[in-house]
Amino acid sequence: MASVFKPEEARFPTALQPPVPPVSKFKIALCQLSVTADKSRNIAHARRAIEEGASKGAQLVLLPEIWNSPYSNESFPVYAEDIESGDGAAPSYSMLSEAARSLKITIVGGSIPERSGDHLYNTCCIFGTDGSLKGKHRKLHLFDIDIPGKITFKESKTLTAGQQPTIVDTDVGRIGVGICYDIRFQELAVLYAARGAHLICYPGAFNMTTGPLHWELLQRARAADNQLFVATCSPARDASAGYIAWGHSTLVGPFGEVIATTEHEEAIIVEEIDYSLIELRRSNLPLQIQRRGDLYKFVDVQRVSHH
């Protein structure tokens, strides 16, 4: 199951050598899916995409943020699933578990609105090759932004923030998970690197304002700073939707290099991940041992003033 962290640990810790992964090379599929108001169609559509990714050799499939529902505060309560209640009541969750088991792949299941008691969360479930739930990440940083005339969104109107970072050991390596806005908070990626993650998966739905400027920049920054793989997966763009997604699902390597990407239409990217590149880049640029962890504190800063 997922490890539990204390938030105070997230202050620039020294990264661990990542563990030897169970496989050093494998294929990942990023399924950039169209999402409609028809939940059953979304589930069947995602199931077909997962199967297509697996048929092209993917051992890991990543889905988009909120792939079973339109992205809106009105929709979240309607499409939410109580994933703790078991089969039947949680068709999206059950489909992912069944697909992982029958195709014998690992699935980082994008995210869906989750209902738990009186609360709703934006939740990513991670399934192992036997279909078991390996971890559950509830979005930590809610997307509450206001850029007047461009985009205003307040997830906290309906959603509750998760309380713990999530890192999972799978058949395809150690994976840290963040959802969309979580990518902006570098401390989370630093923490995952410190805990030996090989790959960070961020299901995300950036938008037409922040997407062009920040989406790729943030992914490449998280990958280059932490010298690990970053994979993102967005819904396809629907220009008639209330929230218009940027698209551009991407795989970035540990040198900050874009390995594979796409535009905004539906697409299934299947690409190889080679974990030996992590060690290569960490020996090319030995940031871990050069880090001045003794200096990065918000006390004892030497101030020099000019008159």
Ligand X SMILES: O=C(O)CCC(=O)C(=O)O
Measured CA distances, 149 to 153, 159, 307 (Å):
12, 24, 42
Q: Which of residues 213-252 bind ligand X (CB under 6 A)?
A: 214
Q: With CB under 6 A, what is the number of residues at the site for ligand X?
A: 9
Look up residue 171 and give its DSSP letter. T
Tell me which residues in 128-147 interact with ligand X (CB under 6 A): 143
Q: Which of 67, 127, 181, 192 binds ligand X (CB under 6 A)?
A: 181
How near is the Cβ of 139 to ligand X at its closest, in Å?
A: 7
In degrees, rounded to 5, the angle at the alpha carbon of residue 31 between the alpha carbons of residues 204 and 186 is 30
Only one of the segments 45-53, 96-104, 163-171, 202-210 lies at the binding site for ligand X (rule: CB under 6 A); that segment is 202-210
Spatial distance between the Cα atoms of 260 and 245, rounded to a whole number of angstroms: 19
Catalytic residue (choose from 125, 180, 201, 233) = 180
Task: Tell which residue, 256, 187, 185, 196, has the closest CA to residue 15.
Answer: 196
Tell me: does residue 206 bind ligand X (CB under 6 A): yes
Other residues' Cβ atoms within 10 Å of the Cβ of residue 78: 12
Q: Retrieve residue 183's tokens.
A: 């990518």
- By CB under 6 A, tell whether 207 contacts ligand X: yes
Measured distance CA(307)–CA(305) in Å, rounded: 7
65 is an active site residue: yes
27, 125, 139, 233: the catalytic one is 139
Run of H or E residues at 50: helix 39-55
| Nearest CB to ligand X, comparing residues 18 and 178 | 178
| Residue in 188, 205, 224, 270 binding ligand X, rule: CB under 6 A | 205
Contact positions toward ligand X, by CB under 6 A? 143, 180-181, 184, 205-207, 210, 214
Q: Which residues are catalytic?
A: 65, 139, 180
